Structure formats: structure tokens, C-alpha cells
């Protein structure tokens, strides 16, 4: 799972595009948490960056995947309209301005909280680092008694695992 973060300028972009587009953009950005390379590669001055297409070919999210000691971090650099390649020019200008320094980044969850009403029904992905693991005894029961595959059990949160076990135990056998 990749950690998705936004530059301050990208957060401003989200505020600027308005309440109709923000939930669509954020839902698309959630794809990056599962697959950091979900978008399309860019070229020219933005080689090494990628784009996500949002809506009916209307909005673009320009981001890059940074590898920091095997932790993937997607940095969203710009969000804007595709018209006249405006968003790409803005992203390139931001990259040039940043130079070799690292931009100040804000996590996806914090962005969704900051935008509040604009984010609508978008919720941040559960972080794997803060997720409570499924205890071994419960994992064993889900695998051997319920019949779930080990990889499915490994992907469950503690709450999901308890729900599965409760569902199994309350079902007539």
C-alpha cells in the first residue's frame, strides 16, 4: 500500500476546482493507495511523473511515485483542468520551483479532513501501519474452520475478521 500525500499547492488546487469535482478527484486518488502506478506516465519536462484522468476527460492529477527506502510515496503535485494543458504547465512550474528541495507534504487523510464538506463521502484508506493485526487464534479459526484462504485473512482488519467469525458462528449449521 502506498502512502499518498499532497503538496500545499495541490491542496489549493482542490479548493479551487470546487465542490462538484473534489469528491471525484479524491476517489480517483484513492486508487493510488493500492497501486501507485495506476495512472499514465508523462513525458517532456514531466518525465518521471504520472497522471490520473478524472471525470469525462476533464480533470488531471499530476503525481510522482517516490521510492524512499522501499516505501512508496505518491506526491500529488497538481490538480486541474485538462484544457490547453494548463495543469501540466502548472505542474512543470512547480517542479522547477521546488528544485532539489523536498516539498512540504500533507497526507491524504489530512487533506480529506481539511476539505471537509468538499470531500463529500470520500474516506481515507486505513493505514496498514495503524491497523490492529488479526490475532493468530482468530486467523487460524478463519482459515481452518470458516475455510477462508490465508491471503484473504491476512488482508482483513481486526474488525472485519471478528465480523466474519461472528457471522460464521451465528449461522445455522
The predicted-structure confidence for 33-73, as pLDDT tens digits, reads as follows 888 888 889 888 888 888 888 887 788 888 888 776 444 56
pLDDT in tens, 103-147: 777 777 777 777 776 677 777 666 544 556 788 899 899 999 999
Helix, strand, coil distribution of the chain in percent, nearest 5? 50, 20, 30
With 50 as the cut, is the pLDDT of residue 8 above it? yes
Task: Please report which helix (H) or strand (E) contains residue 75, including its range.
Answer: strand 71-81
Averaged over 17-24, what is the pLDDT? 83
Q: Which residues contact 22 (CB under 8 A, 6 or more apart)?
A: 14, 115, 118, 119, 120, 122
Please, what are the domains in the chain? 3-119 (3.30.2310.20), 136-170 (no CATH)
- What pTM was estimated for this model as a whole? 0.62
Instruction: State how far the Cα of 91 lies from the Cα of 77, in Å rounded to an integer.
Output: 6
Cβ–Cβ under 8 Å, residues 6 and 111: yes
- Count other Cβ atoms within 10 Å, centred on residue 112: 21
Return the pLDDT at 128.
42
* Residue 24, helix vs strand vs coil: helix
* Residue 17, helix vs strand vs coil: helix
Amino acid at each position: 500500500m502506498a502512502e499518498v500525500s499532497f503538496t500545499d499547492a495541490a491542496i489549493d488546487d482542490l479548493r479551487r476546482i470546487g465542490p462538484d469535482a473534489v469528491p471525484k478527484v479524491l476517489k480517483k486518488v484513492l486508487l493510488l493507495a493500492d497501486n501507485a502506478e495506476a495512472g499514465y506516465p508523462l513525458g517532456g519536462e514531466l518525465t518521471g511523473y504520472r497522471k490520473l484522468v478524472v471525470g469525462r476527460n476533464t480533470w488531471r492529477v499530476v503525481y510522482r511515485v517516490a521510492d524512499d527506502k522501499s516505501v512508496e510515496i505518491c506526491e500529488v503535485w497538481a490538480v486541474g483542468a485538462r484544457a490547453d494543458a494548463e495543469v501540466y504547465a502548472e505542474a512543470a512550474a512547480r517542479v522547477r520551483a521546488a528544485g532539489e528541495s523536498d516539498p512540504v507534504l500533507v497526507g491524504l487523510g489530512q487533506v480529506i479532513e481539511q476539505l471537509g464538506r468538499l470531500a463529500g463521502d470520500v474516506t481515507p484508506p486505513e493505514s496498514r501501519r495503524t491497523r490492529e493485526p488479526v490475532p493468530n487464534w482468530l486467523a487460524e479459526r478463519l482459515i481452518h474452520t470458516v475455510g477462508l484462504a490465508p491471503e484473504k485473512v491476512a488482508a482483513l482488519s481486526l474488525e472485519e475478521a471478528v465480523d466474519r467469525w461472528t457471522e460464521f458462528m451465528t449461522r445455522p449449521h
